[in-house]
Structure 1
């Protein structure tokens, strides 16, 4: 994939908007679960940097009852007061990491991702003004950090491994970058974005 070489915010907004405008929006999910799913939304925040574009991620607080310590996107359940999935993703990002919506230019959405915890998650793709400021909520987020977009959106860097969650055994994707391990729904939504952008390659399978 030939990513834009410029770190200019406008170029990334135009490039991603054009790519996503006519991209297929298939749905995804790790496990075949036949149950009603609650609507949720996450923000996939892309940051143009002079040293190379990155994706902003969070590490969930260690004391949380579910998904403690896991790498995730900012986001959560769609509430009644949210106008749509985009509004929910922006609101949750403000609540979790203090990201002001004025720093976010939304360029598109992906198909729903169905989680084992019974959520139908809509990934919202946004380009951040590199001058954004964060104030992570300690009750929810251990810290926020950035990883290289080119690595996170390279399917060949991923492995498909067996896991067991909530009594269900299935396969999900993993990628390790430095000390960070991104897996499960977050990894799969990254691969959904890579597919929407036309990135070629396939994860390896671990027996």
Structure 2
């Protein structure tokens, strides 16, 4: 496993190249939202915090995502919104996160959100469990080495014709906006390893039932 140096990523997030990470989903005047990409710095590895949505939700049921949600009036910034949501959903306190930077807002067509991804380093990680048990079923800490392994990378294709990068890690199927952000972040950081983009994977049926199109 690898413990990644996150300082080059901090520099990249502050530069003009950060826009390329979300260039195909430019903000479109949607409702403002924010997610936290928390990079946990374990002694021998760097992992990312992912949540698994409750299977009973009306939308995005069972899907893998980052902690996050809509920005509220009391939030002074997208960063504040992302940190608040992570605290409310999984108990990750704002004081535990060193914010490295943000990606420009990216549009999510299914929910009409313009989402700002806040990237943070978590220097003293600890086990997390769902706090908002009505929305979050589980919390996962997935090593970046595992996500970057070409054997775990796929291209998903939706019946509507849309497709995009995905990750398959055991029983976790990461696709859609979450996988899009991971793919862009890895490219921005220079971590991406060559993988077979022609390797297609079907989206599990459990993610398609009741999904807003």
Superposition TM-score tier, normalisation by shorter sequence = 0.7 to 0.9
Q: Is the CA contact (8 Å cut-off) linking 2:32 and 2:115 kept in structure 1?
A: yes
Residue 119 of structure 1 pairs with residue 109 of structure 2? no
Q: Map 1:52-131; keep pairs closer than 5 Å.
A: 52-116=45-109, 117-131=111-125
Once the 2 structures are TM-superposed, how far is the Cα of residue 156 of structure 1 from its aligned partner? 7.5
**Number of aligned residue pairs:** 194
Residue in 2 that maps onto 1:191? 183
* Residue among 135, 139, 142 paired with 1:144: 139
Distance in 1, Cα, partners of 2:85 & 2:104? 19
Taking structure 1 as the reference length, the TM-score comes to 0.82
Structure 2 SS opposite 1:204: coil
| Structure 1 ranges of 4+ moved more than 6 A | none
Q: Deviations over 1:43-71 (max 9, x none)?
A: 00101112311111110111111101100
> 2: CA distance between counterparts of 1:151 and 1:197?
16
The alpha-carbon distance between structure 1 residues 196 and 29, as it changes in their structure 2 partners (threshold 3 A), is same
Q: Unaligned 5+ residue runs, structure 2?
A: 202-213
> CA distance change for structure 1 residues 188 and 154 in 2, over 3 Å: closer, same or farther?
farther
Matches within 5 A, 1:154-193: 157-164=152-159, 168-193=160-185
Report the CA distance between 1:113 and its aligned residue.
Answer: 2.3
TM-score, normalising length from structure 2? 0.80
How much has 1:145 moved relative to structure 2?
1.2
Deviations 1:64-115 (A, max 9, x none): 1110110000001111111111011001111111111111110011122211
Question: In structure 1, the residue corresponding to 2:177 is in which secondary structure?
Answer: helix
